[in-house]
Structure 1
Amino acid sequence: MNETYRALAEFAQTWGLLYFVALFACVLAYALSPRRRHEFEEAARLPLSED
C-alpha cells in the first residue's frame, strides 16, 4: 500500500505540474491575445461608466 501511495503521489506531482503549467500558458495566451484587447479595454472602463 505504501508503494502504491508513493507511485500515485509521484504521478500526481509530475502530471499535475505539467497540467498547471499548460493551463497557465493558455490563460496567459488568452490574456495577451491582440484580438481580446478591445474586450479588455472595455471591461477596464466599466467601473467608470455612469449608468
Structure 2
Amino acid sequence: METYSFLREFADSWMLLLLFCIFVGIWFWVARPGSNKLHDEAKTMIFRNDERPAPQEEAQK
C-alpha cells in the first residue's frame, strides 16, 4: 500500500507540474516567431497539386 501512496502523491504533485511545463513549452514552440511560414505551408498543403477541377466522371463518384 505504501507504493500506491507514493505514486499517487508523485502523480498529483510533480508529474502534474511536469506535464503542465511540457504543455506550455509546446505551446510556446508552436507560437514562436518565424513559425508562420511553416503553418501557412501546412494549411495549404492539401491544395498544392490542385491546378484544375476534377473531370465530370470523377466528381460524381
With the length of structure 2 as denominator, give the TM-score of the two structures.
0.69
Larger RCO of the pair (alpha carbons < 8 Å, separation 6+): 1
Q: Does 1:29 align with 2:28?
A: yes
How many residue pairs match? The answer is 50
CA distance in 1, matches of 2:22, 2:36: 20
Q: Which amino acid aligns with 2:6?
A: A
> Highest Rg: 1 or 2?
2
**Unmatched runs of 5 consecutive residues or more in structure 2:** 51-61
Deviation at 1:35, TM superposition (A): 1.4
How much is the aligned-residue C-alpha RMSD, in angstroms?
1.5
With the length of structure 1 as denominator, give the TM-score of the two structures.
0.79
Say which SS state the counterpart of residue 49 (structure 2) adopts: coil
Structure 1 stretches of 4+ with a deviation exceeding 2 A read none
**Unmatched runs of 5 consecutive residues or more in structure 1:** none
